[in-house]
A and B are shown apart, each in its own frame.
Chain A
Amino acid sequence: MTGYILKRLLSAIPVLFGITVIVFLIMALIPGDPATAILGSYATPENVEKLNRDLGLDKPLVTQYVIWLGNMLTGDFGTSFALNRPVLDEVLERFNATLVLAGTAFVLCSVLGIAAGVISASRQYGFADKAITFSVLIGISIPSFFLGMMMILVFSVNLRWFPVSGMWPIYGDRDLPALISHLTMPALALAVVATGVVARLSRSAMLEVLRQDFIRTARAKGVHERRVIWRHALKVAMVSIIPVLGIQAGFVLSGAVYIEMVFQWPGVGRMLVDAILKRDILLVQGGVVFVAACYVFFNIVVDVLQSLLDPRIKT
């Protein structure tokens, strides 16, 4: 197992390398002069030239890339000119908030999605199946940002159950109950689409498994139907559900940007949108590389989980 984990970690190196190349190339495409963007259109040519030299932008593209990559490997992601603060500090702080949001949404979408899918499949064509299928259809069709806005309108403004926005109360303690009351709505709004996708897939995976011979064997043994479904069938269905959970993790991680905007959540997505609008290139680069790298590592975790579940996978 250790060997397998090591192998997967090693195989992530070229992917991470590729990610940095792509991000660098996309940013290099930027039309116009970053220094002008930073200094504004009234900057003198001398100042622009000096800033370009300071930023290393006068060097060839390959040299720029090597310097940028080398710096990143030593933990230096550069300095955000708009915030006048090291990119890594800012990204780490914002990423924490996103992780809380996306992590909660991910747990919600996994648990609710799988439960809904299993119930739906085990009552195929029954009332529960139809109700779930219909809710799932709405869930995957509604834009999360619109859903979030409507939730604020109903549950914050009208019912006053939850605060309107933010991660922490402006006054008062930053404790767990405060976090939960701020987190509930954004996490739910973010989880809805992913829950629908997971539920759909779980349903069809379960239907596929429930027709197989070993299910009949379990029934012939006299195993209780509840156990047949939630243990025997679900365990095998998980083999095809887990990779989709991996994809959904990427979806909630990046889809968090909409929810962060709607609920004023201080996450990395909102930071990226602000940085894009301000053309704060280093912050965008650093943020994108960081989040993508986290996602790559998350996928390794998914693969390892998969191999733990299915002994037939050669480790």
Chain B
Amino acid sequence: MSAFLKLLARNRLALAGGVVLSVVVLLAIITPLLPLADPNVTNTAARFTKPFSEGALLGTDHLGRDLLSRLMWGTRLSLAVGFAAAVVAATLGAAIGIIAGYYGGRTDNLIMRGVDLLMAFPYILLALAIVAALGPGLFNALIAVAAVNVPFFARNIRGITVGIAHKEFVDAAKLAGLTHRQIILKEILPNVVPVIVIAMSTTIGWMILETAGLSFLGLGSQPPQADLGSMLGEARSAMIANPHTSVVPGVMILIIVMSINLLGDGVRDALDPRLKSGALSRPMAATRVERSGDIPETEGKGLLELQNLQTQFHVGNRIYKAVGGVSLNVEKGECLGIIGESGSGKSVTALSVMGLVASPPGVITGGAVRYEGEDLVGAPYGRLRDMRGRNVAYIFQDPLATLHPLYRVGDQLIEAIRAHRPISEAEGRTKAIELLKSVRIPNPEKRVSDYPHEMSGGMRQRVGIAMALANDPDVIIADEPTTALDVTVQAQILSLLDELRRSRGLAIVFITHDFGVVAQLCDRVAVMYGGRIVEEGPTTDILDRPAHPYTARLMACVPELGGGKRRLEAIPGLPPAVDRLPQGCAFAARCDRVQESCQAADVPLGGEGLHAVRCLFPFTSPQEAAE
């Protein structure tokens, strides 16, 4: 509760709303004690006195009544009626909602049908009909406003109750022999109350507006008693000559409703955990770049070259070093595998290449990504966009989430082409069918007008690949493209990629957590752990002679079909959190070869020839690694 209040107080606007509302409510409460003129005493000699005149701070109205006094009494009345309507609506609505949600079945069905029916009315109309039946009057307006808001509460509370009614503690209470009434009052109600309070805080502003509206129409409070709405209604005829009589009550309604809305928004935000985590931020068109230090010169290694790339996530005060200085390169026609557990930084590395890391919270803080020597990290958005898909294309993991759900796959393919060169609709369609054919989708002429949800997972991933091929890129970055697929489909997709690589001379960066896939496809492989490369070299070399203890353990996790007696070993412990990376080797805490010196200082990537390893005590023979 105190954490909630603290959060609320941190939201300055909500705080302002809360303060203003408190002042207004306080003034309304103590109105009878204030030295105000009688709000109903008329004085036709002093009609329409201007504000700030002697004896009448806000002036007088068309009957010479003191406006300040009428304003205070009117505010008191409006607040009271609005609040009462909210309480009545919330109580009735909650009762109906709890009964419907708790008993379920036929009771629920019948009640909710009625609620839906009431919601079929435009609701001011329903309020008008109720006032028409009961007759004009403030109390009747209150009933009408409360009544039209009951369905809203009933529906919300029912939803919550249905969720609670099937929880274990309710079953336990039933088994303990409590009656329905006891369960509702003791188990359900306490869990529903917070929801009721929030729903009230967001609707009370509306109810004040609605009652003011009915009074404005002359259907609410009747003279001489006046709430803010009827003050406005009475002032309307004199609006042109004496606007102050309208402005005074109107501004007061605005102040009240606005402060309630501010406070309500603050309450809602403070209760929404997503806001704190930054999960509601919108990723920008390209990852933010804040490079400090020197930009490394190109070494001319490969078509795509990553040099000491550093990508971080800044969330609140915490910094997650997702990629902590990664250098990689890939040649034309080569397939480079990047392997590691979830959270090792392999996907972030891949997405950094074309500035696709979600930002906020992602920031590229150092290093360079070079395509044919050109630095992409510092490139302006226009240049980056131009190269996306044309030079470097991506294939992503889950093809259902990564294809647009509401466009036909053919249109998505055509769009990919059109992003880079203008072609006609007919030409685009021909090309789209060609692309689908090239990824061996049967019956492409028909499939081209399918929506993604009409295709199987394997077919969708083929579309994903076709889309990556649309502009004949030189590099394809495949981010776990087969993880979401079943094994037979996986094999098909892999052989398709391999064939495309050979026939088109594509460079492929293949990200996976599966050594089997690496063995099948990749020429070279880099093993990532804690945001850095711990071992890198030719695939066969690494598979035969893993040097880093982590690589060896990772390989031991893969079950081998027909491999016989080898023990399947999980790696104990968890990967380090990248916001609290330990000093020295990141794997030290989980390593059984750990020595004191491992944690003393940063371990460099060393080794001879093409096979590099970041370890002070690497395995030197395959036998040693296998143990």
The answer to whether residues A220 and B216 also contact, given A29-B133, A146-B253 and a CB cut-off of 8 A, is no
- In this complex, what residue of A is CB-closest to B357? A216
The answer to whether residues A18 and B117 also contact, given A210-B283, A292-B125 and a CB cut-off of 8 A, is yes
Is B378 interfacial (CB 8 A cutoff)? no
- In this complex, what residue of A is CB-closest to B124? A254
Is A311 interfacial (CB 8 A cutoff)? yes
Contact of B125 among A18, A31, A254 (CB under 8 A): A254
How far, in whole Å, are A230 and B403 apart by their CA atoms in the complex? 17
Is A128 interfacial (CB 8 A cutoff)? no
Give the distance to chain A from B315, nearest Cβ to Cβ, in Å. Answer: 15
The answer to whether residues A284 and B356 also contact, given A145-B213, A254-B123 and a CB cut-off of 8 A, is no
Encode A227-267 as 1/0 by CB contact (under 8 A) with B. Answer: 01000100110010000000000110111011001100000
* B125: A residues at CB distance < 8 A: 253-254, 272, 288, 291-292
CB of A207 within 8 A of CB of B282, answer yes
The answer to whether residues A236 and B258 also contact, given A213-B398, A220-B388, A221-B419 and a CB cut-off of 8 A, is no
Contact of A217 among B122, B134, B212, B402 (CB under 8 A): B402
Give the distance to chain B from A313, nearest Cβ to Cβ, in Å. Answer: 11
Segment touching B, from A55-63, A73-81, A133-141, A181-189: A133-141
Segment touching A, from B157-165, B239-247, B536-544, B560-568: B239-247
Chain B CB count within 10 A is highest, among A220, A277, A309, for: A220
How far, in whole Å, are A250 and B470 apart by their CA atoms in the complex? 46
CB of A149 within 8 A of CB of B132, answer no
Is A132 interfacial (CB 8 A cutoff)? no
* B420: A residues at CB distance < 8 A: 222
Is B172 interfacial (CB 8 A cutoff)? no
CB of A31 within 8 A of CB of B236, answer no
Give the distance to chain A from B566, nearest Cβ to Cβ, in Å. Answer: 37
How far, in whole Å, are A19 and B120 apart by their CA atoms in the complex? 8
Contact of A143 among B121, B133, B250, B415 (CB under 8 A): B250
Contact of B404 among A29, A140, A214, A255 (CB under 8 A): A214
* B356: A residues at CB distance < 8 A: 216, 219-220
- In this complex, what residue of B is CB-closest to A268? B125
CB of B354 within 8 A of CB of A220, answer yes
Give the distance to chain A from B288, nearest Cβ to Cβ, in Å. Answer: 13
The answer to whether residues A138 and B282 also contact, given A218-B404, A276-B136 and a CB cut-off of 8 A, is no
Is B209 interfacial (CB 8 A cutoff)? yes
Give the number of residues in B that approach A within 8 Å (Cβ atoms): 80
Segment touching A, from B337-345, B389-397, B432-440, B500-508: B389-397
Is B386 interfacial (CB 8 A cutoff)? yes
How far, in whole Å, are A311 and B403 apart by their CA atoms in the complex? 14
Is A27 interfacial (CB 8 A cutoff)? yes
How far, in whole Å, are A291 and B128 apart by their CA atoms in the complex? 12
The answer to whether residues A219 and B388 also contact, given A211-B283, A258-B213 and a CB cut-off of 8 A, is yes
* A152: B residues at CB distance < 8 A: 239-240
CB of A255 within 8 A of CB of B250, answer no
How far, in whole Å, are A221 and B135 apart by their CA atoms in the complex? 64
* B254: A residues at CB distance < 8 A: 138, 141-143, 146
Is A122 interfacial (CB 8 A cutoff)? yes
* B549: A residues at CB distance < 8 A: none
Encode B244-277 as 1/0 by CB contact (under 8 A) with A. Answer: 0011001001100110011001000000000000
CB of A222 within 8 A of CB of B282, answer no
* A141: B residues at CB distance < 8 A: 205, 254, 257-258, 261
Contact of B258 among A137, A218, A309 (CB under 8 A): A137
CB of B217 within 8 A of CB of A257, answer yes
* B118: A residues at CB distance < 8 A: 22
- In this complex, what residue of A is CB-closest to B417? A221
Is A109 interfacial (CB 8 A cutoff)? no
How far, in whole Å, are A157 and B219 apart by their CA atoms in the complex? 28
- In this complex, what residue of A is CB-closest to B246? A149
Give the distance to chain A from B263, nearest Cβ to Cβ, in Å. Answer: 12
CB of B406 within 8 A of CB of A309, answer yes
How far, in whole Å, are A212 and B212 apart by their CA atoms in the complex? 42
* B207: A residues at CB distance < 8 A: none
The answer to whether residues A276 and B258 also contact, given A222-B420, A251-B122 and a CB cut-off of 8 A, is no
- In this complex, what residue of B is CB-closest to A239? B406
Give the distance to chain B from A164, nearest Cβ to Cβ, in Å. Answer: 8
How far, in whole Å, are A19 and B121 apart by their CA atoms in the complex? 8
CB of A292 within 8 A of CB of B219, answer no
CB of A223 within 8 A of CB of B415, answer yes
Contact of B132 among A140, A253, A255, A284 (CB under 8 A): A284
Is A179 interfacial (CB 8 A cutoff)? no
How far, in whole Å, are A90 and B506 apart by their CA atoms in the complex? 74
Is A100 interfacial (CB 8 A cutoff)? no
CB of A219 within 8 A of CB of B285, answer yes
Contact of B243 among A153, A284, A312 (CB under 8 A): A153
Is A65 interfacial (CB 8 A cutoff)? no
CB of A232 within 8 A of CB of B404, answer yes
- In this complex, what residue of A is CB-closest to B116? A15
How far, in whole Å, are A164 and B416 apart by their CA atoms in the complex? 54
CB of A221 within 8 A of CB of B406, answer no
* B283: A residues at CB distance < 8 A: 210-211, 215-216
CB of A222 within 8 A of CB of B133, answer no
Is B63 interfacial (CB 8 A cutoff)? no
Is A26 interfacial (CB 8 A cutoff)? yes
Give the distance to chain A from B124, nearest Cβ to Cβ, in Å. Answer: 4
Give the distance to chain A from B523, nearest Cβ to Cβ, in Å. Answer: 24
Is A150 interfacial (CB 8 A cutoff)? yes
CB of A15 within 8 A of CB of B117, answer yes
* B134: A residues at CB distance < 8 A: 29, 31
CB of A224 within 8 A of CB of B122, answer no
Contact of B285 among A26, A150, A225 (CB under 8 A): A225
Is A47 interfacial (CB 8 A cutoff)? no
Contact of A18 among B120, B406, B416 (CB under 8 A): B120
Give the distance to chain B from A193, nearest Cβ to Cβ, in Å. Answer: 9
CB of A258 within 8 A of CB of B217, answer yes
CB of A150 within 8 A of CB of B205, answer no
How far, in whole Å, are A102 and B385 apart by their CA atoms in the complex? 43
Is B570 interfacial (CB 8 A cutoff)? no
Give the distance to chain B from A206, nearest Cβ to Cβ, in Å. Answer: 8
* B205: A residues at CB distance < 8 A: 141
CB of B213 within 8 A of CB of A221, answer no
Chain B CB count within 10 A is highest, among A31, A292, A309, for: A292
Give the distance to chain B from A147, nearest Cβ to Cβ, in Å. Answer: 8
- In this complex, what residue of A is CB-closest to B385? A222
How far, in whole Å, are A215 and B130 apart by their CA atoms in the complex? 48
Is A295 interfacial (CB 8 A cutoff)? yes
How far, in whole Å, are A253 and B121 apart by their CA atoms in the complex? 11
- In this complex, what residue of A is CB-closest to B389? A222
Is A302 interfacial (CB 8 A cutoff)? no
How far, in whole Å, are A267 and B374 apart by their CA atoms in the complex? 67
Is B32 interfacial (CB 8 A cutoff)? no
How far, in whole Å, are A285 and B189 apart by their CA atoms in the complex? 39
CB of B406 within 8 A of CB of A145, answer no
How far, in whole Å, are A240 and B121 apart by their CA atoms in the complex? 21
Is A310 interfacial (CB 8 A cutoff)? yes
Contact of B401 among A214, A281, A291 (CB under 8 A): A214
How far, in whole Å, are A13 and B415 apart by their CA atoms in the complex? 44
How far, in whole Å, are A220 and B353 apart by their CA atoms in the complex? 11
Is A170 interfacial (CB 8 A cutoff)? no
* B246: A residues at CB distance < 8 A: 146, 149-150, 153
13 contacts between A and B (CB under 8 A): A18-B117, A29-B133, A150-B246, A150-B250, A213-B398, A216-B358, A220-B389, A221-B393, A257-B124, A258-B216, A276-B219, A295-B120, A312-B453
Supply 12 further A-B pairs (C-beta < 8 A) apart from A30-B133, A225-B385, A295-B122. Answer: A27-B132, A31-B135, A138-B254, A141-B258, A142-B254, A145-B213, A150-B250, A221-B388, A221-B415, A276-B136, A288-B125, A311-B453
Q: Which are the 9 A-B pairs with shortest beta-carbon distances?
A: A250-B122, A254-B122, A146-B250, A254-B124, A222-B389, A141-B258, A222-B388, A213-B401, A225-B285
